Amino acid sequence: MVQRRSRDGNKSHELIRFYITDDQNHIPVRLDMFLSFGSAKAYLREYKGVRSAMTSKIN
**Confidence (pTM):** 0.67
pLDDT of residue 32: 94
- Tens place of pLDDT per residue across the chain (59 aa): 666 666 666 677 788 899 998 888 888 999 999 988 999 999 999 888 888 887 877 66
pLDDT of residue 59: 63
What DSSP assignment string belongs to the chain?
-EEEEEEETTEEEEEEEEEE-SSSS--EEEEEEEETTEEEEEE-------SS-------
pLDDT of residue 56: 75
